[in-house]
Structure 1
Amino acid sequence: MNSGDRIVLTVEEAAQRLGIGRTTMYGLVKNGEVRTVTIGRLRRVPLACLNEYVDNLLDNSHSLDQAA
């Protein structure tokens, strides 16, 4: 099973999907910008939360464009 089949990703896989570095991704998680779940002792990023983060970026970008 590859990461395209799963509904949760590791933080590293989520960073790779967004095209950002691992440290940046951990910062987004720490700041609460990207929500995660804990499964046992493992931290995972649900695809829905990753999509939610991108949607928020788009909404914020759209709001800034309208204000200009």
Structure 2
Amino acid sequence: MKNIKIKTDFIKLDQFLKLADVVMSGGEAKVLILSEDVIVNGEICTQRGRKIKKGDIVKVNDMSFLVE
């Protein structure tokens, strides 16, 4: 599991995926999220604008990220 630090109270899921270097653009993030390949705190997430907060766990394929 890789730790990703955010400087604000929350970050939107599509922006988080770019910050974590999972995708290079918002378009790639949209496709990945809509394909149901992103799991947030154990649940499949299809909302690009979902607020990701400190303590959340985001999983994409075989990668896991802890938000700090």
Structure 2-normalised TM-score? 0.45
The structure number with the bigger radius of gyration is: 1
Between structures 1 and 2, the one with greater strand share: 2
| Structure with more relative contact order (C-alpha pairs < 8 Å, separation 6 or more) | 2
Structure 1-normalised TM-score? 0.45
